[in-house]
Amino acid sequence: GAVVSQHPSRVICKSGTSVKIECRSLDFQATTMFWYRQFPKQSLMLMATSNEGSKATYEQGVEKDKFLINHASLTLSTLTVTSAHPEDSSFYICSPQAPYEQYFGPGTRLTVT
């Protein structure tokens, strides 16, 4: 199957700081990238969809100014959590879309103290 990497795998940051999560599709090009988050004991929830070179579209209830998504190339997308707060602590998963299949990264565990 396709290889997707995320970096970092775990990050702890202080409240008020920003954190950048990178997602790379290592062996295919993804024109569409989905970002999900997962709170403890809950299922994955779609946050946003981005297409390469375009602005991301966000799901209802997700603040676009807080979760900045950059999809500048077909193999790299970044999610920046700005001014993080403890309630942003979650498991963030990127999901690049290839033709007829959606892949998933290994996830990034963010803890905001």
Partner 1 sequence: DAKTTQPTSMDCAEGRAANLPCNHSTISGNEYVYWYRQIHSQGPQYIIHGLKNNETNEMASLIITEDRKSSTLILPHATLRDTAVYYCIVSRTSGNTPLVFGKGTRLSVIA
Binding site residues, partner 1, CB under 8 A: 1, 4, 6, 31-32, 34, 36, 43-46, 49, 51, 91, 93, 95, 97, 99-107, 109
End-to-end C-alpha distance for the chain, whole angstroms: 36
The amino acid sitting at 53 is: G
Smallest distance from partner 1 to CB 1, Å: 7
Which is nearer to partner 1, 4 or 79 (by Cβ)?
A: 4
**Smallest separation (angstroms) from partner 1 to the CB of 34:** 5
Q: Which C-beta is closer to partner 1: that of 20 or that of 109? A: 109
∠ Cα 44 50 55 (to 5°): 135
Comparison of 17 and 42: residue with beta carbon closer to partner 1:
42
Query: Which residue type occupies 32?
Result: T
What does the block give as tokens for 67?
Answer: 């979760």
Contacts of 60 (CB under 8 A, 6+ apart): none
Closest CB 13 distance from partner 1, rounded Å: 18
